[in-house]
Amino acid sequence: MGVAELHDLESGPALRERAEAVLRRLAGEHARLREDQWTAISALVSDRRRVLCVQRTGWGKSAVYFVATALLRAAGAGPTVIVSPLLALMRNQVEAAERAGIRAYTINSANLDDWDQVRAEVHAGAVDVLLISPERLNNPDFRDTVLPKLAASAGLLVIDEAHCVSDWGHDFRPDYRRLRTMLTELPPGTPVLATTATANGRVTADVADQLGKGVLVLRGQLGRDSLRLGVVTLPDAAHRLGWLADNLDRLPGSGIIYTLTVAAAGETTEFLRSRGYAATTYTGQAEDADRRQAEQDLLDNKVKALVATSALGMGFDKPDLGFVVHLGAPPSPIAYYQQVGRAGRAVESAEVVLLPGNEDQAIWRYFASLAFPPEDQVRRVLAVLDDAGRPMSLQALEPLVELRRSRLEMMLKVLDVDGAVRRVRGGWAYTGEPWAYDTERLVRVAEARTAEQRSMIAYATTGDCRMHFLRTALDDEESVPCGRCDNCTAPAFSPAVSLPALTAAASFLRRPGVVVEPRKQWPTGLAAAGLDLSGRIPPAEQAGPGRAIARLTDLGWGSRLREILDGPDAELPDDVCDALVEVLKDWARGADPWPARPVGVVALGSRRRPRLVSSTARRIAEIGRMPFLGTVEPIGAVSPPSGVNSAQRLKAVHGSLTVTPETAAADGPILLVDDLVDSGWTMTVAARELRRAGAGPVYPLTLASMG
């Protein structure tokens, strides 16, 4: 039904009274619309405007769009289309809406085939709200057949978590770019409501710009009176873990401890458990069911703390969350504000503590390196697709370009919306449309990121009100000093760490040794790269189980190992050699010992750090009284670039290693020594070559592993 056919709506007091009546059906007899909610509803319903609501979580945005939906539907408008990444979390609101007589329908991958039926029901006026996830917008069938009709019939478009539209934001999602197309396909006069809880001035302006002309921006105050912000600066990771063990019991209720990396989350949980706390881990690498269980344990107060990475994302809601502690600072005030804002929603007081780390900036740099690829890589992907002359799947494309799969997919989604490629059945196709690399914009985004990082460093050291600092960083003009933070009052927590806790943390972190799992399967896509390797690697050609001192992202040895691998090529330092010897002792006699004692040592020739790797292998041979058998030498000048995907790296490594008879001559297992295991393919190929040349079992031993 078009806008022209809509019945006249009452305006002013009569409309408001009907809005209040809908709200009472949704939220109970005592519910009243606040003025700012009414302003948004009235702009959508009476004025058919596009509205951007920047309001803190808990403000009541769902009341706004369900009330607006009821009023618009009563006036004959089409169904409301809600695009939200949080559909699973909206179950409660949707049930409440249905009790109030608003009929909702979710379109997901499981029921896409029912589209004809949905359309019939939409046509018959039996659907008030259609919920779709942003990923759906990029599905070829949905985009081509469903989306245009949906856009043409929508009575109201709601864009949840609208900051994801902006690449200025901290959480840009390429799927959201498709919304720009949808916005242009809406009939004139269709109201749009975009909502976000986390946007600074620049992101707000960018989102408003993408919504079109004449957008009404409603910005609320950001402050939350229950939060007591504080910063405790400590010299190293051992002090920070020790501090947690000393203070966790003093923090109210249960809460979240954020870490910057998956490895740090696991270590922190393990240490806290060893100190008698109920703690559990939540990371993006865990299985769905485990993540849901971890969330539930926190909701039920079965754990004192959930130790999480930023994967504990938007929408997690525990109104009585008592504290948020950060073990390491996130890279922007807006990300920090969003994470601490999970605390204290429905309690009078919640503690928020930042424990900044010396290694934070190195970790930020690592994550920043995963942003949109440089122009030559993008051009290469376009050229490969152009040459192919047919659609290519991600798997087929991967071996031919130097990008990890997730980054490749992100880039393709951006190029799709730009028109240079198109997602079709069977993969991605080149369109032939001219495409320009927006260098200027990407440079400005990178500069904005750097400024946010500087701002986060300043937060940790400021002597002014911390809440005022954060709100000002988020361009909240109403901000005043909070009177509650450690700078407004006195610090709530001492930086002192008890000797027992510090000793325990230090010995926990000093304990070297992580398992390096051997690769058992060749990656897909090698045939397209011209290699005749696929499926399972025969057991007789696999590497055996391996060990490293630590992962580069570990709290304990991570910083020291990064320092060595980032520094000039030099002999192995004594402290690291001692750690390696500890690892070997534990490997020989610990809980999970090697199957048989090694009888020789081989170095994996390194182009980047030959002295480090060779001195490591020789010292281990000497200390273990084993012969040093030589080096598996890399030939040719090409080194596989770091940060590339499996198939690409394997292609670069394959056939570039030489095994001499001496290196494969030992009568028993050998240790194969390298400085860093990244993808594991260099090690896998070297072990295979050694075994094919007659060597016994090959045990990888490295200083560090990635991830």
**Nearest distance in Å: CB 320, Zn ion:** 23
Distance CA 232, CA 243 (A): 9
**Nearest distance in Å: CB 469, Zn ion:** 8
Distance CA 335, CA 234 (A): 22
DSSP letter string over 533-545?
--SBPPGGGS---
Query: Tokens at residue 109, please?
Result: 């991958």
Q: Which is nearer to Zn ion, 176 or 459 (CB)?
A: 459
Q: Which of 314, 319, 67, 25 is nearest to 171 (CA)?
A: 314
Q: Which is nearer to Zn ion, 132 or 482 (CB)?
A: 482
Distance CA 328, CA 240 (A): 9
The number of residues in the chain equals 707
Cβ(614)–Cβ(620) below 8 Å: no
Q: Which is nearer to Zn ion, 222 or 467 (CB)?
A: 467
**Nearest distance in Å: CB 234, Zn ion:** 21
Please tell me what DSSP assigns to residue 392: B
- Three-state DSSP class for 444? helix
In 160-266, where do the E strands start and end?
192-196, 216-219, 227-231, 255-259
Helices (H), 154-200: 178-185
Please tell me what DSSP assigns to residue 282: E
Helices (H), 300-420: 333-340, 360-368, 375-388, 394-397, 405-418
**Nearest distance in Å: CB 233, Zn ion:** 17
Residues pairing with 536 in the sheet: 521
Q: Which is nearer to Zn ion, 480 or 638 (CB)?
A: 480
- Taken in order 16, 22, 26, 28, is the CA torsion positive or negative? positive
CA of 423: how far to CAs of 62, 144, 365, in Å?
Answer: 33, 11, 31
Radius of gyration of the chain (CA): 29
Q: Which is nearer to Zn ion, 352 or 482 (CB)?
A: 482
Q: Which is nearer to Zn ion, 74 or 480 (CB)?
A: 480
Q: Which is nearer to Zn ion, 480 or 588 (CB)?
A: 480
- What is the spatial order of strands in the sheet that 600-604 belongs to? 514-516, 546-551, 698-705, 670-677, 600-604, 628-634, 657-658
Binding residues vs Zn ion (CB under 5 A): 465, 467, 482, 485, 488
Q: Which is nearer to Zn ion, 205 or 488 (CB)?
A: 488
**Nearest distance in Å: CB 288, Zn ion:** 39
Cβ(14)–Cβ(75) below 8 Å: no
| Residue pointed to by tokens 């709530």 | 492
**Nearest distance in Å: CB 350, Zn ion:** 14
**Nearest distance in Å: CB 175, Zn ion:** 38
Q: Which is nearer to Zn ion, 170 or 484 (CB)?
A: 484
Q: Which amino acid is at 706?
A: M
Q: Which of 333, 332, 311 is nearest to 449 (CA)?
A: 332
What is the tally of helices (H) and strands (E) in the chain? 25, 22
Distance CA 221, CA 54 (A): 9
Q: Which amino acid is at 91?
A: R
Q: Which amino acid is at 554?
A: D
**Nearest distance in Å: CB 465, Zn ion:** 3
Q: Which is nearer to Zn ion, 60 or 481 (CB)?
A: 481
Q: Which is nearer to Zn ion, 100 or 488 (CB)?
A: 488
**Nearest distance in Å: CB 323, Zn ion:** 17
574-589 helix and 610-623 helix, angle to the nearest 10 degrees: 50
**Nearest distance in Å: CB 349, Zn ion:** 14
Q: Which is nearer to Zn ion, 465 or 552 (CB)?
A: 465
Distance CA 264, CA 330 (A): 14
**Nearest distance in Å: CB 492, Zn ion:** 12
**Nearest distance in Å: CB 486, Zn ion:** 8
Q: Which of 629, 623, 627 is nearest to 686 (CA)?
A: 629
CA of 554: how far to CAs of 259, 560, 620, 630, in Å?
Answer: 11, 10, 23, 31
**Nearest distance in Å: CB 491, Zn ion:** 12
Q: Which is nearer to Zn ion, 350 or 465 (CB)?
A: 465
Residues with Cβ within 8 Å of residue 473, at least 6 apart in sequence: 200, 333, 334, 337, 455, 459
CA of 684: how far to CAs of 125, 442, 664, in Å?
Answer: 60, 37, 15
Cβ(41)–Cβ(64) below 8 Å: yes
Q: Which is nearer to Zn ion, 384 or 488 (CB)?
A: 488
**Nearest distance in Å: CB 470, Zn ion:** 10
**Nearest distance in Å: CB 228, Zn ion:** 9
Q: Which is nearer to Zn ion, 464 or 541 (CB)?
A: 464
Q: Which is nearer to Zn ion, 434 or 463 (CB)?
A: 463
**Nearest distance in Å: CB 230, Zn ion:** 10
| Residue pointed to by tokens 């109030």 | 100
Please tell me what DSSP assigns to residue 536: B
